[in-house]
Amino acid sequence: MYQPPHSLDCCGGLGNVDYSKVDFSAMAFLLSYVDVTDSIFGVAVFFIAFNPLFWNLVARWEHRTRALTRIFRSPYTACYALGAVILLLNFLRSHCFEEAMKRQPKLEALDSLPGYYAGAGLVAIGVVFVLSSFLALGFVGTFLGDYFGILMKAKVTCFPFSVLDNPMYCGSTAIYLGWALM
């Protein structure tokens, strides 16, 4: 019988883990600095999860049905329309994230000038990766043009793709982490 390479079957899987021996004190400490009951926090978490789910489902639906291409009468126009919706959703996600961060408790150690500079450094690194990815791929390449049948002539291998496999995702994560630190 075939076993996937990352299967946990070799050790009895997760059913073989004794959770009574796990020390959750570090997690409890960190969670004491997060107010999960804040409604804005919940909205931010929703949009953080919803946005990539939305654009991936819509892109796969378009790839299977070509419905957006038929509605907009052009794969380019449909891709630009989806890209505009993705950008609007990202602005909404960023706004909700910022509002949630304003209302969350702060770690005293991070509420300092070195913490601010560390956050600013992460934001700067993230912006470099996101913008250079966008410049390398263009609008259509960034916003799922391949699902609309718009393919690039060759695989992009220049910076930042020569450094990371997913520079846009890594850059976005660095931006949000840095923003949270700031």
Per the annotation, binding residues are 124-126
Take residue 74 and report the two structure tokens written for it: 């052009």
Residue of 90, 170, 62, 76 lying closest to 126 (CA atoms): 170
Give the C-alpha separation, 180 to 74, whole Å.
40
Give me the DSSP letters along 117-130. HHHHHHHHHHHHHH
Binding site for S-adenosyl-L-methionine, residues? 124-126
Q: What is the DSSP string of 101-121?
A: HHHS---TTTSSHHHHHHHHH
- Distance, CA of 140 to CA of 153 (rounded, Å): 13
Placement of tokens 């702060």 in the chain: 106
